[in-house]
Amino acid sequence: MLCCPSCGAQEIFVETGGYTGMIYRCKRCGYRGPLVVEVDEDTSGHGEKERMSDR
Ligand SMILES: [Zn+2]
């Protein structure tokens, strides 16, 4: 599950993807950029991971 780093919405979709990386867009706040927060809500315990794809 991908979350917006700006507003936390899960309404993130990929706008473009290429050699330099993926660009994501948030439907809710209009955020656009290479960074998203990936959340595993299916796991037990601490199910939250932050994964910055551009660092
Ligand atoms: Zn957002």
R_g of the chain, CA atoms, integer Å: 11
CA of 45 to the centre of ligand 1 (A): 25
CB 23 within 8 A of CB 31: no
CA of 29 to the centre of ligand 1 (A): 4
CA of 36 to the centre of ligand 1 (A): 10
CB 7 within 8 A of CB 45: no
pTM confidence score? 0.65
CA of 1 to the centre of ligand 1 (A): 14
pLDDT in tens, 2-41: 999 999 999 999 999 888 888 999 999 999 999 999 988 7
Beta bridge partners of 25: 13, 32
